[in-house]
Structure 1
């Protein structure tokens, strides 16, 4: 699978995961989001994407959903920390959707 961003072809896995993490950009995030049936990335989407990327940079791994909910609660409060909230923005959830759009590696056991 491939995505074209600014005239450059970016290689994605068959399931749409970024193969070279260094090629991630906000423009690529928009392309991956389209593949995930998300037509627009709002500020609420970007808050999750950016927090997921920050956690990965600091820890070298993607945050598991329960931990991520705690991080969201600490940063954004109760209203924006539930799994239900995250699924409302990313239909297949943090692991399968938000992390993919954020250009993070595919966790083991994730399709």
Structure 2
């Protein structure tokens, strides 16, 4: 697994479930279904647009797709305590985002 000094995968096209789980373990996370929903969404968005979605875009799409009120910023920070975009992007095998969240 080729990663940079911060633990981000160097080539996001080489990502797979095993890599995601290995990164999650290093991040002290046990991934559940909601984690994977966020990870897949961020990955799909990045692969399609080559930019990271904002937290607002993530929340809007999660509520729209899964129609659950629990997908709010507080819940995302419970899932990814080091920051939803930063930590989820790392697990999704994406480059290090250069945004605050």
Common fold by TM > 0.5: yes
- Find the aligned partners of 1:29 and 1:80 in 2 and give their Cα distance: 24
Q: Which runs of 5+ in 1 are unaligned?
A: 1-9
Q: Indicate the residue corresponding to 1:3 in structure 2.
A: none
Choose the corresponding residue for 1:49, options 21, 39, 42.
39
RMSD: 1.5
- Find the aligned partners of 1:77 and 1:92 in 2 and give their Cα distance: 25
More strand by share: 1
SS of 2:62 mapped into structure 1: helix
Runs of 4+ in 1 over 4 A off after TM superposition: none
Q: Indicate the residue corresponding to 1:20 in structure 2.
A: 11
SS of 1:32 mapped into structure 2: helix
8 Å CA contact 1:62–1:104 kept in 2: the answer is no
- Find the aligned partners of 2:47 and 2:57 in 1 and give their Cα distance: 15
Q: How many residues align?
A: 100
- Find the aligned partners of 2:85 and 2:16 in 1 and give their Cα distance: 19
Q: Which runs of 5+ in 2 are unaligned?
A: none
Q: Indicate the residue corresponding to 2:25 in structure 1.
A: 34
TM-score of the pair, normalised by structure 1: 0.81
